[in-house]
Amino acid sequence: MAQLSTLGISAHMTYRTTLLTTLLLMGLFSLFGCGKKPDLDESVRIQLKKAGSDLSKPHHIEFFLYFPTQAVAEQAAPKIKAMGFDVETKQAAQGTEWLCFTTKTMVPDLAALQKIRLDFNSLAASLGGVYDGWGTPVEK
């Protein structure tokens, strides 16, 4: 009988130790960012969905690229148009930068938005500017 209860306690302790170790490791992974967090484009899509937007429908999406001068913004504009976007250059609302206000009607597909982010980051960086993301109204 004593042998049976010792095995029961031993198995319970092993299970408890394994459970505690697993919980500790999960906590460490989340603490150090090993869990997958949504990227910026995915975060905006999540917020759109929460607001009731139908992500399978085309949206009028606005993209924002900022450049240090009007001349540089005007140099970027034809490159953006060649990628299939409408673009307007204008003085930024704040500061001395110039904005390439870029629009496109499209389904806000995550892979497409991530590709656009890569392309716009590359273009902006090559001209000393920055890509500042995108936004769109909710589409029911």
- Give the per-residue SS3 of 84-135: CCEEEEEECCCCCCEEEEEEEEECCCHHHHHHHHHHHHHHHHHCCCEEEEEE
Q: Provide the residue ranges of all domains of the chain, joining segments of one domain with +.
A: 1-36, 40-135
Q: What is the pTM of this model?
A: 0.75
Distance CA 100, CA 88 (A): 6
pLDDT at 117: 98
Distance CA 88, CA 84 (A): 13
| pLDDT of 35 over the 60 cut | yes
Structure token digits, residue 95: 């500061």
Confidence of residue 37 (pLDDT cuts 50, 70, 90): confident
Say which CATH superfamily domain 40-135 falls into.
RraB-like (3.30.70.970)
Per-residue pLDDT, averaged over 56-72, amounts to 98
Are the beta carbons of 90 and 99 closer than 8 angstroms?
yes
